[in-house]
Each structure stands twice: as C-alpha cells, then as structure tokens.
Structure 1
Amino acid sequence: MSLVGYNFGEILQSSRTFKGLNPAELAEGICSEAEIIQFEKEEKYPTIDQLYKMALKLDVELNHFFDFASTDTYNYAIAVTELIKKYKRERDYAAINEIIQKEQDNPLFKHTSFSQFLLWHEGISTYYLEEDKERSLGLLSKALSMTNKADTDLTEREIEILTSIAIVEKDSGNLDKAVEVFLSALNNLASLPQVQDSSIWLRILYGLAQALSKLERYEESLIYCSKGIDNCIYEENMYLFGELHYQTGMNFIKLGKLEKGKGYLEKAITIFGLQKNEKFASLVETEMEKLLKYC
C-alpha cells in the first residue's frame, strides 16, 4: 500500500490538531513521536497497522486518511484487505470482525472480489468468536459459490476458501471430513499452472498433517510435514516453519522415536525464538515435557 498522492500528512496533522493531541500523545502505543512528525511531513509513511491504530485514537474511519478526490479508492479496499490478512496471521478474529462490521455496507466492498473476501473472513471469525460451526461453514460455502458454484477448476482464492472450510472441520473435530477437504484443496492447487502465494501450500500441508496426527495416522502426517518443511526451505519462507517442525516431532514421539522427536521439537523452539515468538516457544517446551514424560 502506498499513501503517496493522498495528501496524507496534511490530513493526519489536521485530524490530530482537531482531536487536541500533540505528536507524542498520538504516537503513544503506536510508534515514536519522531515518526509522527515524519508522517505529517510525508518523509515516511505508516504501516497499515499503525494507520489503523491512529484512526482508532483519532475516532475516524480508516478511509478518512485517503484523499478520494485525487486518487482511486480501489487502494483503500486493498489496504483494508491487507489489514485483515495481518490480523488473520495473528489470529486476532475480534479485530477482523470489527473491520468487517464497519466495511460491509461500504459501496467499495460491493464489488464481487471484495465482497467475497469480507464474507470469507466473516465465516472464519464467526467460528472462532461464536463457535457456530454451521453458520461459519454456511458463510464460507456462500463465499465460494459467489465465483464457483460447481466447485470445479478452482482459482487460487477459491482454494484458500476451501482450505478455510477444511480448517473449521479440523478444529471442530470432524477429522475425516477435514482430510477429505484438505486433499481436495491440495489437488486443486497442484493443477494450477502457477501459484502466486506459496503460503497456501503450507496452510494446506500443515492442516492436513494436523488432522492426520489427530487420527493417529502418524506416518501419513510425517509425509505432509516433510513436504511442508521442504516447501519452506525452497521458497525461503518461514511461515509455519516452526509449527511443521513441532508437528514432525510430535509424530515421531507418538511412534516411539523419542530422540528423533525431541530433536525436531528443539528445532521448533529455536525457530520460534528466532521469530521472536516466545509464546509458541514456551508452549512447545511445555508440550515437549508432557509428551516425553508419558512415553
């Protein structure tokens, strides 16, 4: 996202002044005071996350910062979708839901692509916030059928939605169905001539490995863990790299190969440490102690 050409600095400064905040007050919890000054002089531009937090503090909508008279509003919709993706990676479903509620009546999001995107993420957040599986799957299926009623020859976006359906099935305990849907998503993805976002492979492979492990099909799970780790290395992508090592380690321990399993769990802890994900590193350490204790 670029804010160049939006008169952003002038809009930010006037909004801050109107709210009665000085640069330090606006910066608190978001960035440094120096950065606010740089933003207002347009020497530097904020990330979409910083922009969203400033909008909340200033009590304005995110689109307040965009000069509609001079620039295509399409960029605003793109900025919102990127923010939703960020919160999805962070598993902040409440933030996703808040954005959807604000934007679903926005005319910009009546375009099929953006409307589908909101519906898809409403389906995801509905499951994790309300634990309403039926409504969640209904929303996800509706999002998929917006562009593909036959469920054949799926596009990359449609495969992502199908993967979300598989994840909901997995997380709700319907494991056999989850494996079936993950394999369908994997086969559809393999048939595409080119995949723009390599992370889709990883989401499918990791979800499939998780479901197979829960079904105690550890050898099969290891196959998909290995494919995921190889994909991370080939694509130089750290996304789910730690999680795949954890899943591999857990599988080996369940198969009675304790030392091999422990080695992968230790690698997972190292990876999470490098990613500064102390929460996951701590969880793996705790889980490793439990797994090894009863083996």
Structure 2
Amino acid sequence: MNSLNTYLIGDTLRSFREYKRLSIEELSEGVCTEEELSSFEKQVSYPDLETLNSLLRKLNVDLAYFFNVASKSSINYSNAVIRLINRYKRDWDYERIQEILDKELCNPIFQTDHLRQFLIWHQGICKFYLEKNLDEALELLYEAIDITNKKREDYNEREIEILTSIAILHKESNKFEEAISIFKKALDYFESLPDILDPRGKIRVYFGLAQALTEVCQYEESLIYCKTGIEYCITHELIYLLSSLYYQTGENLIKLFRKEEGLEYLDRAIYILQVQENKKFIKIIENEKDKLLHQW
C-alpha cells in the first residue's frame, strides 16, 4: 500500500477498536497476530489492504469511511484529532490526551485560533489531572479564552465551555465558593446566547453547580439546578449526565431527611446506567448510595 504515510492508520484503527470495546486479542483473532496488530496501531508497520479490510469487517467499518477519517488532510485530520480527544476525555484518559497534545501543539494545522484554543484548553485540563497543578492549569485555560476574547466578556459557546472547565477545576480542588461563582457566571453567559449548538455544555454547568452547592450544604438550591438540568435533558432528548443529575437529586433529598423520595431518584440513576450497560458507574453509584444510607 503506497502513500500510507498520508493517513493516520494506527491511531484511527486503535480508535475504532476501543470504540467497539474490543481488545487487541479479540480484533486480531483470525486476521493477524496480536504483535502485528499492536505494530499497526503504533504505526511501526502498515497492514496490507486485505488485512486492513479484514480488520475493518470485524469492526463493521466501511473501508472508504475509514480512510476518510484517517486522512491527514487538514480538515479531516483536525476533526479526527478533536474527536479522539473528546472521547478520551469522556473516559478520563488524560494520558492519551497528553500524548496527542505533545504531537499536535506544534503542528501547522493547529495554528488557527480555533484549533489552537482547543489544544491549549485541553493542555490545561491535563496539567491539572496529570500534574495536580491548579495554578498552571488555570493559566492555560485563561490563555485559551484570551485567544478569542482578550476582554473576557460576551463569551461565545466555546469560551463558556472553557470557563466551565475552570469552574470544574476549582470544584475538584475543593474551592467550592469560587466554583459556584464561576458556574453561575457561565450559566448567565449561556442564557444570553441566541442559540446553543451543543446542549451538553449547559448540562455540565447545571450538574457542576449542583455538585458544588451540595458540598457547601446548600441542598435546596442544589435541588433547583438538579431539577432544571433534568428538565433540560428531557426537553432536548438527551441522556447525557441525566443519571448523575438524578443521583445528585437523590443525595440532596436524603441529606434533607427525605429518604424515601431520595431513594427513588437514586434508583432512577441506576436504572439509566443499566440501560446504558455502564457497569463501572453503576458500581460507583451503588457504593455512594450505601455511604449515604450509612450516614442516615
């Protein structure tokens, strides 16, 4: 296969395999050795067309679509990188995100304001979660905002999402009052937008704000944002963070001595996760449920 160096064969192959939740052993079985597949994913060597086609059939991915995603042309390539980073972020895999950032921060493709902002934003997130350095993380996040909004006013949707990340890092650092203030600022900016392209950003604010308010024992106010977030999810037909909002509602109710009502919401959270077959988070919520009831 000539000119394969114009495609991200390895990263794209690994991306599809992980998306389908297949191990290297499972995907390689009957097609190639595990060592060969590992070599393909690391782009140490390339599969021939027949081998690649066999792997893609197991992944249920069309060959033409694969090469479109794997293309290094600036538009396809940058979109593929953004998709990878967003997926690793959902999985909290900041090591993988940092690996991508290390490769792409100096890439000429990513020197436009919009793309450079995206990378610096996630560099800040990685700085916090991998190095536990809040100050440097915040510097990077504000630097990302300044790329498109030096005055830091009249935020657009992307800038509000970065501001939400700033609030989340404060919350994760137990700086709850600061987090609450920034979450509310982000929510005000969302309310001022004529249209929201991705409703998940606003849901993140509702949930983060509710969490922070619970931490400072403002259970009634937290309930307001939980229920508003739940209604927003239902209105937009989104399951994103819905289980977390149900859990947060249940936690608040239990701490307000409304145990039976709270348990109903915790069970709703678990039900949604069961539908999603998210065993990892079911276990987390069940453990948290036990802790709450133990405190009762």
TM bin (shorter chain): 0.7 to 0.9
Note the C-alpha offset of 1:220: 0.3
Deviations 1:63-105, CA, capped at 9 Å, x for gaps: xx42x6xxx4222111101111111111111111110001111
Q: Which residue of 2 aligns with 1:117?
A: 118
Q: Which residue of 2 aligns with 1:92?
A: 93
After the TM superposition, list the runs of 4 or more consecutive aligned residues in structure 1 that deviate by more than 2 angstroms: 6-13, 21-30, 32-39, 41-48
Provide the aligned length of Structure 1 versus Structure 2: 263
Specify whether residues 76 and 267 from structure 1 end up closer, same or farther in structure 2 by C-alpha distance, changes over 3 A only: same
Q: Which residue of 2 aligns with 1:233?
A: 234
TM-score normalised by length of structure 2: 0.81
Kept after mapping to 2: 8 A contact 1:272/1:278: yes
Tell me, yes or no, if structure 1 residue 24 matches structure 2 residue 25: no
Q: Name the CA distance, whole Å, in 2 between partners of 1:182 and 1:199.
A: 14
Q: Which residue of 1 aligns with 2:56?
A: 36
2:65 pairs with one of 45, 51, 58 = 45
Q: Which residue of 2 aligns with 1:218?
A: 219
Taking only aligned residues, the RMSD between alpha carbons, in angstroms, comes to: 3.0
Q: Which residue of 1 aligns with 2:206?
A: 205
Which amino acid is the alignment partner of residue 32 of structure 2? A
Q: Which residue of 2 aligns with 1:105?
A: 106
> 1:141-152, aligned counterparts within 5 Å?
141-152=142-153
Structure 1: tracts of 5 or more residues without a match: 1-5, 52-64
Q: Name the CA distance, whole Å, in 2 between partners of 1:200 and 1:8.
A: 36
Q: Name the CA distance, whole Å, in 1 between partners of 2:178 and 2:166.
A: 10
TM-score normalised by length of structure 1: 0.81
Kept after mapping to 2: 8 A contact 1:38/1:44: no
> 1:9-20, aligned counterparts within 5 Å?
none
Structure 2: tracts of 5 or more residues without a match: 14-27, 42-51
Tell me, yes or no, if structure 1 residue 161 matches structure 2 residue 162: yes
Kept after mapping to 2: 8 A contact 1:9/1:42: no
Kept after mapping to 2: 8 A contact 1:23/1:37: no
| More displaced 10-residue stretch of structure 1: 183-192 or 278-287 | 278-287
Specify whether residues 10 and 235 from structure 1 end up closer, same or farther in structure 2 by C-alpha distance, changes over 3 A only: closer
Which amino acid is the alignment partner of residue 127 of structure 1? F
Specify whether residues 282 and 196 from structure 1 end up closer, same or farther in structure 2 by C-alpha distance, changes over 3 A only: same
Deviations 1:233-291, CA, capped at 9 Å, x for gaps: 11111110111011000000000000011111111111111111111111111111121
Specify whether residues 38 and 248 from structure 1 end up closer, same or farther in structure 2 by C-alpha distance, changes over 3 A only: closer
Note the C-alpha offset of 1:36: 2.8
Which amino acid is the alignment partner of residue 216 of structure 1? C
Specify whether residues 167 and 258 from structure 1 end up closer, same or farther in structure 2 by C-alpha distance, changes over 3 A only: same
